[in-house]
Amino acid sequence: MRRVGSVGRDGGQATVELLAALPAVLLAGLVGLQLALAGYSATLADGAAEAGALALAAGRPAKAAARRALPGWAEADAEISVEGGRVAVTLRPPLSIPFLGERLAMTGTAFGRSPAR
């Protein structure tokens, strides 16, 4: 007769299964975090491009306004271009998976006209 609460042959199987699944769970979490950071970077790039376009429409320097619209960590990684009335801001997300940096670069674009002189 078997006592209640006694450990049988499969007593450590749950621990082994947890250890086997842990790398997959961690990888899924890392990928999810990277996608969230990419989405955040896209939002920041759009906002900075819009700030640049509004500055352009007001007759102020668009690049400086777009750069000021970014948080400190993103200023150095941002590429800002102004061509005619188009302001484009390309931003790479903070990387937790380094080899994806260029592939996850986000570009925000906005259009503004210089005031008539």
pLDDT value at 11 more than 70: no
Q: For the ranges 32-36, 101-105, 107-111, which has the lowest average pLDDT?
A: 101-105
pLDDT of residue 54: 95
Burial per residue of 71-80, b for 16 or more beta-carbon CB atoms within 10 angstroms, e otherwise: eeebeebbeb
pLDDT value at 47 more than 80: yes
pLDDT of residue 70: 95
pLDDT of residue 104: 86
* Annotated domain spans of the chain: 14-111
pLDDT of residue 87: 96
pLDDT tens profile 53-75: 999 999 999 999 999 999 988 88
How large is the average pLDDT for residues 84-112? 86
Kindly report the three-state secondary structure assignment for every residue of the chain: CCCCCCCCCCCCHHHHHHHHHHHHHHHHHHHHHHHHHHHHHHHHHHHHHHHHHHHHHCCCCHHHHHHHCCCHHHHCCCEEEEECCEEEEEECCCCCCHHHCCCCCEEEEEECCCCCC
Percent of the chain with pLDDT over 90: 50
